[in-house]
Amino acid sequence: MKSLSTRLTGWQTLFYKEVLRFWKVAFQTVAAPILTAVLYMLIFGHVLEDHVKVYDKINYTAFLVPGLVMMSVLQNAFANSSSSLIQSKIMGNLVFLLLTPLSHRAWFVAYVGSSVARGLAVGLGVLAVTWWFGKPGMVAPLWALVFAILGAAMLGALGLIAGLWAEKFDQMAAFQNFIIMPMTFLSGVFYSIHSLPAFWQSVSHLNPFFYMIDGFRYGFFGVSDVSPWISLAVVGAAAGIVSLIALHLLKIGYKIRG
């Protein structure tokens, strides 16, 4: 009986290594984000339940659940690939990967695949815990799954780009604090954009994260701020563009080859 390591191909071995990397510290990489989402639920759900109006017959706490789930998926998918690359670059062990015959496509599949795995693991945990607060239901689960996977893959690829670009943790923190966090919080996680003034509604439509959240929320309620097909087209196009950029940077060895 062959051991698991001898039965895996190159990209599968790297994928397995990346999954183990976050799973061995699951208390930090999975449990902590779940706790953060629960705190958001308790605070915002309690304070705004009677003050924020969303879709007809949907209470605010139920509306909040899918937003928090998707926010957790996106943030943790980005954190997985970006933190792995920057840690390997700073610690100097990235050279061992460069010595392998793995192609840039294998790198991409392994890093993005493990990011999707972490994002979905955290998202499922958040959903399991917050479900009891809002009980949002699940009208179209396939839509929710598609947007969760697409969103996690896009943020995993974006994390690759950030990890390749950054040379120290300060740069990575700046990328996350000034790009990822604002786009996530301004995507409709805590509100429906129909509650915003016309100008800010228009601005929200320029944010691809909005379409991820809105499309994912459609899977729960069957209603959304824009058509789920439009959201799918925008998210698919954005994920494709980010993936092509990440693949190109890996191919030329951007900031990882002398």
Q: What is the residue-level pLDDT of the chain in tens, covering all 258 positions? A: 355 555 778 889 999 999 999 999 999 999 999 999 999 988 887 776 666 667 777 888 888 999 999 999 999 999 999 999 999 988 888 888 888 889 999 999 999 999 999 999 999 999 999 988 878 888 999 999 999 999 999 999 999 999 999 988 899 989 988 999 889 888 888 888 877 788 888 888 899 999 999 999 999 999 888 999 999 999 999 999 999 999 999 999 998 875
**DSSP for residue 189:** S
Please tell me the distance from the alpha carbon of residue 139 to that of residue 218, in angstroms, as a whole number.
Answer: 8
Helix (H) or strand (E) holding 45: helix 32-48
Least Cα distance to 215 among 134, 151, 119 occurs for: 151
Q: Using a CB cutoff of 8 Å and minimum separation of 24, what contacts does 130-133 make?
A: 130/37, 130/38, 130/41, 130/64, 130/65, 130/68, 130/69, 131/65, 133/41, 133/42, 133/45, 133/61, 133/65
